[in-house]
Amino acid sequence: LNAGVPRDRVIVVPDGQSGLKMVQDGRIDAYSLPVLSINDLIKKANDPNLEVIAPVQGAPVYCDGAAFKKGDEALRDAYDVELAKMKKSGEFAKIIEPYGFSAAAAMSTTREKLCSAK
């Protein structure tokens, strides 16, 4: 909806398989899910007529993260230092990409930007 798609053109489906089936049947033109979910569905469907477009240019980046108890800022900051080292060395990408995560997406934003989002 934020991209300007009218509400009456948006279809809610009960699960990923239903959305994918609707694309395959030509009932909808596109289907959106988190990239790990859609990649898994596409792999299982084994349908050469399906294509994943990711990342989507201009789409907001949402990332998972680590949680720290308030008052543990020293631990959080130490974690940030080590994580930055892993990202710079390439170790971060080597760890997460085999599981389908995008290191590029994770490194395209910061904790400050994500935590300040409203």
CA separation for the pair 23, 27 (Å, rounded):
6
Q: Is the pLDDT of residue 63 over 70?
A: no
Global pTM value: 0.59
Which tokens belong to 41? 């569905």
Position 4 scores a pLDDT of 85
CB crowding 54-87: b at 16 or more within 10 Å, else e: eeeeeeeeeeeeeeeeeeeeeebeeeeeeeeeee
Cα separation of the two ends of the chain = 17
Q: Which amino acid would we find at residue 108?
A: S
CA separation for the pair 66, 76 (Å, rounded):
9
**Which tens digits make up the pLDDT trace of 68-108?**
999 999 999 999 999 999 999 999 999 988 887 888 878 88
CB crowding 34-52: b at 16 or more within 10 Å, else e: ebeebeebeeeeeeeeeee
**Which tens digits make up the pLDDT trace of 18-60?**
999 999 999 999 999 888 889 899 999 999 999 999 877 777 7
Q: Is the pLDDT of residue 109 over 90?
A: no
Which tokens belong to 87? 């990202």
